[in-house]
Amino acid sequence: MNPKRIPLPLLFGNPVKASPKISPDGKRLAFLAPDEGVLNLWVMDAAADPSAAKPVTRDRGRGVRSYFWAEDRRSLIYLQDKDGDENWHLHQVELETATTRDLTPHPGTQAHILATDPKFPDVLLASMNLRDKRLHDVYRIDLRSGKASLTAENPGDVIGWLADAELRPRAAKASLPNGGGELRVRDDDSSPWRALLRWGPDDTVGAHGFTGDGKGLYVESDIDGDTTALLEMNAATGSARELFRHPQVDVGPVLLHPTTYALQAVGHELERLRWEVLDPALGDDFKALENLAEGDFYIVGRDDGDRVWVVLDQSDRRPARYFLYDRETRKSKFLFSTRPALEDYALAEMRPVAIRARDGLTLRAYLSLPPGVPARGLPLVLNVHGGPWVRDRWGYNPEAQWLANRGWAVLQVNYRGSTGYGKKFLHAGDREWGAKMQDDLTDAVRWAVAEGIADPRRVAIYGGSYGGYAALAGAAFTPDVYACAVDIVGPSNLETLIRSIPPYWEPLKREFALRVGDVDKEPGFLRSRSPLFAVDRIRIPLLIAQGANDPRVKQAESEQIVAALRAGGREVEYLLFPDEGHGFARPENRLRFHEKAETFLAKHL
């Protein structure tokens, strides 16, 4: 029996409500919800029903998607760019006066929030590439006057900053010429920087924060192993003690106390999220949340008193649900479902599976099958994640639900080069764009066919960003595997992709040279891995979609392969969205794209 058809607006329109955050004093709750069809910030009393909330912003463009409470308890800060150009500005909303101002009003400049602390309620730290478009410096912004003052200047190689509990930028992650990196620290704002830790191009190192006393750093590192370990490192001596390591996967989410910054829990994710509680005081709380959640739970917000938590319950067969959890009573209050209308539909299970690649590597993947339909000889959509240096995860996925609801099996593969499975798996993807990374996708399709799940004549490859590249590469390099391909903001020529990267990615250029190919020394190699130069091998129909303002994968990446396909008489449909960037934020654009993609897939599968 086929499931009831889910209307596209329920999947790809705006959520009814989303992303709740508790205020620092625990008295108010903010969340995102549509106002005149555009996502805006709403605020309510934390004890009230969400229906009592009122909008406090009036965005009429792409909507608000990322925000946080300021520690002054009077204002909210949200990030916004212009039509997808990723030049993020920090906007402050004064709740009492309902006024909004741009704290970083500099055209062509990108800002990111670094830190706040309740001891400094009227100050925040942000990074901006105001002085040099290639480099982000640290600025201290006064929330009363709006004045920004330069606090730490980037020497030319820093790609990330970290502040201590006194709101001093005291750690910096630098990119070295050999493709490795260096973690630098200093004692205070006037002290010189010194190297605390250095690593090579095959290692992964990151810092999660300072300890409350500022004497230590929580560092994640795989220097001494395959998977990353969570370490507490002495900021003066560099000595470290290991706090957690999983033998199969890297460190997942890390939970620090909101004001003491003590490490309390760490997650790991082989197939689904699992928590290791390191602070015994949280043991009963996590047991209560395990009983509450139908799926995997995340603590996405806490008040400064650490009495009220905002908890996300992430399941595969329901949209995201949020709860307020009271630590004193250990009782939970349901806040809302992001898409309550979907509760009336049968959603697909997302099943973790392990697939063996042709060279013996184990690929972790997720399979979603149409509910109520025998899993035999189905059309299959291979949905390839972007990045590529990220990973697919278990949980509610609107595209998997859409495709499965239409009767198609959906396979999402963490191919080599995906993160989270250790450095051997990550670097197995080095210089393998269009080669072994693509072989993993082919092997996943062959697995689904061998299992009897997929009809080999009805397989589509679909993806965005790197997934869009993989769709083009599948069409060009393995045209017999797929019946059609859908590319969303995917590069077609790796040489022009790397040469046109944004200025603020310049310190990471060496990483691209090592993991993809050196654009200056081996342009021929990059062209050999570029679908544009194998366009004569493409025999299957394509759908290509692009945002005109995309700063990462420029419009030319799509248009050059569309022109080449049309010149060769090949079948290609092209959608250009003039008010989008690297992906589609406006609901009307998401709906238009998915309507077109559904018609395209139905025709060819």
Which residue numbers are catalytic? 465, 550, 582
Q: How many residues does the chain have?
A: 605
Q: Counting Cβ atoms within 10 Å, is residue 457 exposed (0-12), middle (13-18) or buried (19+)?
A: exposed
Dist. CA 212–CA 197, nearest whole Å: 21
Dist. CA 219–CA 209, nearest whole Å: 8
Dist. CA 435–CA 525, nearest whole Å: 12
Distances (CA, A) of 340 to 14, 20, 141, 261: 12, 16, 39, 35
Q: Which of 449, 475, 451 is nearest to 461 (CA)?
A: 475
All residues at 6 or more sequence positions from 92 whose CB lies less than 8 Å from its CB, including other chains: 70, 75, 76, 77, 100, 101, 103, 143, 146
Q: Where are the alpha helices (DSSP H) in 278-434?
A: 283-292, 398-405, 423-427
522: its two tokens: 């081996």
Dist. CA 146–CA 387, nearest whole Å: 35
Q: Can you spell out the DSSP letters for 156-184?
A: S-EEEEEE-TTS-EEEEEEE-TTS-EEEE
DSSP 433: T
Residue type for position 295: G
